[in-house]
A and B are shown apart, each in its own frame.
Chain A
Amino acid sequence: MLDRRPFLHLRDVSKIFSVGNERVEALHKVDLIVGKGEFVCLIGASGCGKSTLLRIVAGFEAPTSGDVRVYDAPITGPGSDRGMVFQDYALFPWMTVRDNIAFGPKQKGLKDASDIAGRYLDMVGLSKFADRYPYQLSGGMKQRVAIARVLANEASLLLMDEPFGALDALTREQLQDELLEIWSRTKVTILFVTHSVEEATLLADRVVVMTAGPGRIESDNAIRLSRPRDVSAPDFNDARRALTERLTSHVRRRQLRPAA
């Protein structure tokens, strides 16, 4: 059962960027609670602030106002309890696959960093590629390394910013399956940004729909489908359609507004 204590708690989070003389409100008073072990997808049109939200949780950006906490500890900067998986991988190109994964444990001064890396290499099925450099890997393999890198660092919250967006459809499906498998094995909490309704429906316990201008949360939708989910099943289709309607309803409203 899910532990419903607020693991990650965002309260009244706003973020204003200054671009020249213009002030853009990327996030407006966002509240979000994520329970331990939950898989939450953030979805919305580009500019809705979903990536900004993720970067604030990661500690790469500070909110203009509001409060972000993990178990009551305020987030003040990047930390090894939260691991970001970037769309463009951000692997260290001068390190082998093994050294990339061992990077976090090495920072903690762990003597068995290399063994830890070996375990996670095994988990993502890349043991044979341990001594390769990132340039020798396919996109899917790079993203597996990036996931293994944050898991090896014992991150309890995985932040994923459209991680499979740059992959071909076949590789994407495979990585979605592997991610679900890893999630159920490690009990890690996942906050996952996507713009694919199907991906959100397949992966998430909850799908948070965001809207742009200023970025805020439009709706919070539980996906009550049993796992493993079958994308060709009728109830999957229903859930996906319902979600698509949530997503497009406000888009249609926004389009009509200027004419009204």
Chain B
Amino acid sequence: MERVRAIALGAGFPLVLVVLWHAAVVTSGTKLVPTPYMVGVMMYDFAFGGVYDDAFSRTILTHLFASMQRVYGGFFLAALMGIPLGLAIGKIMLFKQLLDPTLSLLRPIPVTAWLPLSMVFFGLGPRSAVFLVFLGAFYPILLNTIFGVRSVDPRLFEAANMLGCDGARLFRQVVLPASLPSIFTGLRLGHGFAWILIVVGEMTGVPTGLGSVIMDGRTLSRADLVITGMIVIGVAGFLCDRVIVSINNRVLRWSPQHHA
């Protein structure tokens, strides 16, 4: 019963918003914002074609896969660098002293400010998008990993030491698993940023991707296309977040308080 109620409330609220959206468009008579129905038709055409039969018909999978490749390219790169670097900075004083000031200086620079330079470095194309996604996902993963290592009960390291575990083995067997709850928080945040940044990343003149669809919609003054692109990003980001949550709950089954 509680579950039914949760679903009814959770799904009911966006439905109410859609109804309000429809009413607002109809009563104001605006031609700039499409009705939900028009967006629905655009979504259908985007997915299956047969309505407008233009350059965007039946292209949803092409754009979705292109965006996912960049999102996950940047995201996994960020995780691959952020987690080991975070473990090292969190546990080894040398790394902290060496890298902490530089990273603190670079961190406040907005990802969008990197856009011009990234086009210089990586050219107009998907590699630039991957780089921006990477930048956006990197800091939350790195900082949460550092925080995770710092907040491990020092007794656990002592216990591991006295049981004959130290050096590189300590990292794999104790530092990493003990920091996992924070690392997952970072991964989830970074993953969210990765999807947020895909539109920025795909502003750099790539022909495919959901971000480029939205930019095209803007250029062509097709708000239905813009909103369709927004909805696909929202749904894809949401579903992928659920996947991460279920991995989180599986990996952290030893700590119910960290279940999402």
Contacts and interface: CB of A to CB of B under 8 A. Distances in A.
Interface of A: 58-60, 77-80, 82-84, 86, 88, 90-95, 103-104, 107-108, 133-135, 149-150, 153
Contact of B153 (A90, A95, A134): A90
Interface string B247-260: 00000111110000
Contact of B178 (A60, A78, A94, A135): A94
A77 B160 CA distance: 12
Q: Which residue of B164, B165, B169, B174 has the most chain A CB atoms within 10 A of its CB atom?
A: B164
B158 A84 contact: yes
A90 B155 contact: yes
Contact of B163 (A60, A80, A86, A134): A80
B250 to A, nearest CB: 12
B55 interface: no
Interface string B236-254: 0000000000000000111
30 contacts: A58-B162, A59-B162, A60-B158, A60-B161, A78-B158, A78-B161, A79-B164, A80-B164, A82-B162, A83-B162, A84-B158, A90-B153, A91-B159, A92-B160, A92-B177, A92-B178, A94-B252, A94-B254, A94-B255, A103-B163, A103-B165, A107-B163, A107-B169, A108-B164, A135-B254, A135-B256, A149-B163, A150-B162, A150-B163, A153-B163
Interface in B140-191: 153, 155-156, 158-165, 169, 174, 177-178, 180
A92 B175 CA distance: 11
Contacts of A78: 158, 161-162
Q: What interface size band does chain B fall in? A: 20 to 34
Contacts of B153: 88, 90
Contact of B165 (A84, A94, A107): A107
B188 to A, nearest CB: 19
Given A88-B155, A90-B155, A133 B162 contact: no
Contacts of B169: 107
Contacts of B162: 58-60, 78-80, 82-84, 150
Contacts of A77: 161
Given A78-B162, A133-B253, 17 more contacts: A84-B162, A86-B159, A90-B155, A90-B158, A90-B159, A92-B156, A93-B178, A93-B255, A95-B254, A103-B163, A103-B165, A104-B163, A104-B164, A107-B164, A108-B164, A135-B255, A153-B163
Contacts of A108: 164
A92 B164 contact: no
Nearest to B163: A104
Contacts of A93: 178, 254-255
Contacts of B255: 93-94, 135
Contact of A94 (B158, B159, B177): B177
A77 B163 CA distance: 12
- Which of A59, A83, A84, A92 gathers the greatest number of chain B CB atoms within 10 Å? A92
Contacts of B165: 103, 107
A92 B155 contact: no
A-B CB proximity, top 8 nearest:
A107-B164, A90-B155, A78-B161, A104-B163, A78-B162, A133-B254, A94-B177, A90-B159
Nearest to B176: A94
Contacts of B160: 92, 103
A90 B163 contact: no
Contacts of B174: 92
Nearest to A80: B164
Contacts of A60: 158, 161-162
Contacts of B164: 79-80, 104, 107-108, 153
A21 B162 CA distance: 31
A92 B158 contact: no
B21 to A, nearest CB: 46
A92 B170 CA distance: 12
A84 B169 CA distance: 20
Contact of B156 (A59, A90, A133): A90
